[in-house]
Structure 1
Amino acid sequence: MAEWQNPETIIRWIIFSIVFFLVLFSFIVLLIRVYYKKVISSKLEESRIKLEHQKNLLEVSINTQEKERKRIAADLHDDVIGKLTAIKMMEELRPEKSEETIELLSESIQTARRISHDLSPPLLSFSALSTLIENAITPLQNQLKIVPIFDVRTVDTFDEEFKVQFIRILQEIITNIVKYADASEVEIHFRQSNLFTCLKVIDNGKGFDINKNKTGLGLKNIETRVSYLNGFYRLTSEINKGTKSIFVFKTNE
C-alpha cells in the first residue's frame, strides 16, 4: 500500500488542511477587522474634522455679530446720543424753547440708550446674570406683564462671553413673543445651582405649529447660540395654549 494511502497519513493531511483553513480564515477575518477599523476610524476623524469646522464657523459667526453689535452700540452712545443731548441742551437754552421738542428729544435719548444697552450690555464682567436678566426685561414691562422668578443658589462665576450669549437668547425669545405670540403675560424662571443653570420662558400667547415654524430665523439664532454654549434647548407650543422654552447649561462650562 502506498504511503499516501496510509490512514495515519490521510488523517495528518486532513488535520493539516483543517488547521491551514482555520489559520487562513482567522487571517482573513483579522484583515477584515483591521480594514473596517481603519474605515471607521477614518469616518470618525472625518466627522470630528467636520464638527470642528462647523464649531469654528459658528464661533466666527457669533463673534462677528457681537463685534458689529458693539460697534453700533458705541456709535449710538458716542455719536447719536451725544448729538441728541447737545440739541436738547440748545433747545433748553433758547428763549422760546419748545417743551414738546425737549420731551421728544428726551424720549429719543432714552430710546437710543436702551437700544445701545441691548446691543452691548454695560458692566458685563461685574454684573450677575440675574441682574442682567432684570435689566433686559425691565424696558419691556410696558408691553407685557412679565413675571420673573429667580432661584439663585450659587455665586455667579460665568465669564463675559457666556453672559452675552445667554442674554442674547433671552432677548430673542422675548422679541419673538412680542412680534408673534400676541401674549399678555410672560413668566421667566431662572435657576442657578452648582451644577446647572436653567431658564424657562412661558407665554400665554396663541402658540404655533413647531413643525411648520422650526426653521424660522429667530429659532435658528437661538439654536446657534445654545449650541455655541454647549447647552440643551427644548421648545413646546400648542395652538391657543402658548409656548414654553427651556434652556439648560452646565454651570461650570
Structure 2
Amino acid sequence: MQQIKSIGVFDSGYGGLTVFRSIAAELPQYNYIYLGDNARSPYGDHSFETVYKYTLECVEWLFAQGCELIILACNTASAKALRSIQQRILPVKYPGKRVLGVIRPTAELIGEYTRTGTIGVMGTRGTVKSGSYPIEIHNFYPELEVVQQSCPMWVPLIENNEHLSPGADYFVSKYIQALLEQSDQIDTILLACTHYPLLIPKIEAQLSEGIRLVSQGDIVAGSLKAYLCRHSEMEQLLARDGEKQFYTTGDASIFCRNGSLFFEAPVVAKQISLLS
C-alpha cells in the first residue's frame, strides 16, 4: 500500500466516526485514514489486556499505512490502552509518532460547562470501571463531583441500528434515571462513548430543562487543532490532499451502510485482516 503521511483515527467500531466527522469539518485539509475494528467490537466489556492487545494491533496497522499521528476516537481504548502504548511502545518502536486519546481533552474542558459543580458521565462498563474520567477531571477540576453510570445496552442498540426504535426508549430511560438518582445536583452530562451521539434526541427527551448534554466530537477536534499548532514539527509532516480512507476488520458493505449514519456522509470502506 502506498505510504502517505496521514492522521489515523481509530475506534472499535462506528462510534469514532462521530469524532472523525468533527475533526474533518474542523481540519479538512489533511489526509485521514479511519480504522474500525468491527470484527472484535464492542470493546466495552473486554479486559484491560484484551483491549490493549487489540488497540495496539490497530495502531501498528495504521502506522504501517503511513500515519504519523493517531487519534484513539474510542473511550474504552483511551481508558485501557492509551497510556501503555504511549509509555511502553512509542519510545521504543515509534519515537517520532504520536497517539492521542479523547479522555484528556474532554476532561480539560468539561468543568466549563457546569454551574452546580456536579457532572454525570455515561459510558461503557469498561470506561466507567477504569475510573479514567474521575481521575482526569479531578486533575483539572479537583472541586468537581463526578457521578458515573454505565450503559451496557446502548452500544448494541446503536450497532444493530435499533437506536431510533421504540424499544430503545426503555434502555435510554433506565440509564438516565439511574444516573440522576445518584445526585440531584447534576447539571451536565458527558456522553463518554463516541457511539452515544446517535441517541441524543432520545436522551434529551428524558432530561429536564437546565441539564446540558455534552458530546466529544467538537472538543476533540478543537484539541487536535491546538495540538498541531503547538507541534509544527508534526504538522509539517502531514499531507494536505483532503483525502479520507475508511477501513474495517468487519464486513465492508455493512460498514459502508452503518458508517454513513455516524459520519453523516457516504462512506466507502475496505476490509482488512489483523493478526487475531
Give the TM-score taking structure 2 as reference length: 0.24
